[in-house]
Amino acid sequence: MSNTNDLTLFYFPRACSLAAHIALEESGLDYDRCIIDLRTQQNLDPEYLAFNSSGAVPALRIGHQTLTETQAILTYVGDLVPNGELLPAPDDFLRYRAHEWMNFMSSSVHTYIRSIFRSSVYAGDDKIVNVSVKEQGVKNLAKAVATVEKRLAGQTWALGNRFSATDAYLFVMYLWTTDQRIPSVPERPNWEAVAHRVWLRPAIQRIVAIERQDRDYAIPWET
């Protein structure tokens, strides 16, 4: 697609970068996409590290500048879209609620799941400590799920009656909770309902189809 805004998203399928991928597609903005294959450690290539020293995804190139971290990218993209369609305006209290949600997804849910998937990041090579880290991660995730369920009670979307970039982040983290590497996750009907609504949006299905060309992954509601 043409790229009049000079935006390029660097992503890996089903990683947390999926939230930014969804937001960009929902925005209607012109952007380019470039997969960074974490399986081959392409994120450690000097060419990528030259403009993204963290080597992480997502990264959004904006002209000659680079923005990283999901919350920052979702906020930036949301502010490019008029009328608060993806993110409430600065004078709207719901904007702070959106950041509350995104912070919780990043600092709590993402961290807990990471401790289950990649316990060695925290425990090193000690097998006993790795087991303890994973077990604590499962417990922490259960508490986080309870928090999400309470906050979403009676809600159509994370911010009430309208879809926002926040829901894209909730969708990705919900997908992660369905991963078989997590031995147990509490029932989460409110979270699942919001994630399912996100999945029904055409933009999300387009992005998942694109990402699956490089890495297939399951969507819970497909038959």
| Tens-digit pLDDT profile for residues 14-29 | 999 999 999 999 999 9
The mean pLDDT value of the chain amounts to 96
Please check whether residues 127 and 154 belong to one and the same domain.
yes
Please check whether residues 117 and 196 belong to one and the same domain.
yes
Contacts (Cβ under 8 Å, ≥6 apart) of 98 = 87, 88, 158, 159, 164, 165, 166
pLDDT tops 70 at residue 4? no
Q: How far is CA 158 from the centre of its chain?
A: 14
| Contact present, 55 and 43 (Cβ < 8 Å) | yes
Domain boundary among 56, 84, 112: 84
pTM equals: 0.95
Q: pLDDT (tens digit, 9 = 90+) per residue, 143-181? A: 999 999 999 999 999 999 999 999 999 999 999 999 999
Closest by CA to 38, choosing from 53, 24, 17, is: 17
Q: Quick one: average pLDDT of 129-147? A: 97
CA distance 132 to 130: 5
Q: What's the full length of the chain, in residues?
A: 223
Q: How confident is the model at residue 104 (pLDDT cuts 50, 70, 90)?
A: very high
Please check whether residues 113 and 186 belong to one and the same domain.
yes
Please check whether residues 115 and 70 belong to one and the same domain.
no
pLDDT tops 80 at residue 1? no
Closest by CA to 164, choosing from 90, 70, 85, 82, is: 85
CA distance 160 to 80: 21
- The total number of structural domains that make up the chain: 2
- Structural domain including 47 reads 7-84
Closest by CA to 201, choosing from 85, 70, 76, 90, is: 85
Q: Domain holding 120: CATH number?
A: 1.20.1050.10
Q: What integer pLDDT is reported at residue 5 of this predicted model?
A: 66
HSE-up (13 A, CA, CB side) for residue 127: 0
Q: What integer pLDDT is reported at residue 2 of this predicted model?
A: 38
